Structure 1
Amino acid sequence: MEDKIRINIFLKESDNPYASYYSEDDLHLSSDLEDFILSKLHSAKRKNIELLFGGQNNFDEHSLKTATLNSFSNLMKTDERIYARNIKKTIILFVFGIIIGILYLKLQKSHAYIGGILSIVCWVFIWSGTEVYFFDNMQIKQKINKCKNILNANIYKK
């Protein structure tokens, strides 16, 4: 099975594929168009992607390529920062969980009530870190891979 996907984007004459608040020197796609392109990539594992812009419009191919590359490179950089921040957050949550777990072990026999509360708090920190690391970061990593694939895509205007 070939690992290739073609995304057809039909633009009417009245459609504007560019974001409103960027200059002509720094074109970006509109957020709706970014979301549409990302939604067409069901899996981040696709390698060969073709974006075909077509329809009744006067947009040139170079501007569409530039806007696509600018949009998805910015999106990827933002998601990479979020991913790195989540890794730090995970480490901090695990460390707090371990520290509170050690306090729980120290107070378990002498102050059972406080030890019980610390046990719950310990597991909350550990499970929060686990959730961020395994679930939140997995989605972000998939989005980063989709952006990388789009940045390597062949972009054409029909």
Structure 2
Amino acid sequence: MIFLHIQKVDIFGRQGRPIPPSPDPFQWISENYKFYLAFENSNCWYYITEKVTSNSLRYGLVPIVLGARKEDYVNTLPPHSYINVDDFKSFQDLANYLLYLDKNHTAYAEYFAWKEYGYIYVNKRLDCQTCGFVHHLNARKLKLNNISWQYFMNPSRLCFDRPLLPLYSNHS
């Protein structure tokens, strides 16, 4: 897990320091941080994981997203509830924007305006529901024909290359 603390990046978990003991670690994080780096491990269409919903939006952290296509985030998440890395020319521009949000409470609060009009439903037991669904399908003897596994297993159809942003920008 990686969290952004404005001036530096704090890394928690296996590759970083341990999260202080807490009944709810993300509650502790949300009390100490404003942003969450919700970087996916693949750049694939529709690939938006719990990093965005369960780990950040649910706890009042603004997710900084990278992974899915821009339109996937637009079509899936509440408007103005996240920061997309692809909206910036460089990581320096992104860092400057985060510093601006840290100092401008009104602009930062706009990332939570969506809560007046809706909510994020986070299913904690999707694995159980998936098993139940499959069991239900098996009970009905459902037969699927003409499944093209090559389509689903072909990364070139669903995943894409992404140019990395420059780490430094000398323009202001």
Greater relative contact order structure (CA < 8 Å, 6+ sep): 1
TM-score band (shorter)? under 0.3
Higher helix share: 1
| TM-score when normalising by structure 1 | 0.23
| TM-score when normalising by structure 2 | 0.22
